[in-house]
Amino acid sequence: MPSRKQFPLRIPQELYDVYEQWAADELRSVNAQIEVALRDAARRAGRQPRRRGEDISGKTIE
């Protein structure tokens, strides 16, 4: 597994609450939900191409 960079993220409590509920709805941790949102934004901006066999969230499609 590739190494992962750790860093502190400061966001308003209201935004954290949004991600917390969103993560719960999708059975993810808040950290994983933020990572999914960041990957999606990078792909939409054309900064990170989608890898073959992945859906928009980065999950493998069979």
Q: What is the pLDDT of residues 5-40, one digit of tens each?
A: 999 999 999 999 999 999 999 999 999 999 999 999
Number of folded domains that form the chain = 1
Range of the domain at 49: 11-62
**Secondary structure (3-state) at 27:** coil
d(CA 18, CA 47): 25
Reported as a pLDDT band with limits 50, 70 and 90, residue 57 is low
Q: What are the tokens at 44?
A: 């939409």
Residue 36 inside a domain? The answer is: yes
Does a structural domain hold residue 40?
yes
In a domain, 41, yes or no: yes
Q: 6 in a domain, yes or no? A: no
Query: Looking at residue 54, what is its pLDDT?
Result: 65
Question: pTM, whole model, 2 decimals?
Answer: 0.72
Rounded to whole angstroms, the Cα distance separating 34 from 29 reads 9
